[in-house]
Amino acid sequence: MKGNGKNRRGKDSVIVVAGEGDNDRKVLWHLIRALRPDAKIVNIKKKTVLREADKELTPRIDEIRRLAQAASARSELAGIVVHVDLDLVNEKKYQEVRRRISTEMRRNFSCPSAVALAAWEMEAWLMQFPAAFAKVNNGWILKAKYQKGCDLTKVHDPKARLKEHP
């Protein structure tokens, strides 16, 4: 995709974002926008759970493919990013799940694809960027005790901490 968001044939190029929750998709949308300001980004709003899909993985990936194609009907599907929530998944299982989902995505997508895996909640990572909260969820507040000198890796249930109000 060139800098103007058009492909060789003059069609707009689209990057599609899918995943389990609205907040996760919004974070990915903003990350992609920061990296590719020229890209048209479309969110698939249907909740897609892949972590524990096992026997349902192929049909779920196929559904994402169909939804992505529909979302980019008059455009070129330039890429797809899928958020997979791996909260509380141990390291051995994490690698297994990552390989299984990545392999299935490569088999089903002709465009570049990426699996955005959260080793812990996306919100814990987002706590490092308090100014970004309003863009994702304007109801979240990062209390002062978590802003300076706090080891954010030790914050239990970061999403709950962000939802707390003074």
Q: Are strands 13-19 and 113-118 parallel, antiparallel or unpaired?
A: unpaired
Average pLDDT, rounded, for the chain: 79
pLDDT category at 9 given cuts 50, 70, 90 is low
Asked whether residue 130 carries a pLDDT value surpassing 80, the answer given is no
Q: Express as a percent the part of the chain with pLDDT over 70.
A: 83
Cβ neighbours of residue 91 closer than 8 Å, sequence gap 6 or more: none
Rounded-to-10 torsion of CA 83, 88, 93, 94: 40
Q: What is the CATH number of domain 13-119?
A: 3.40.50
Mean pLDDT of 119-138: 71
Report residue 60 as tokens.
């779920």
Taking residues 91-98, what's their average pLDDT?
78
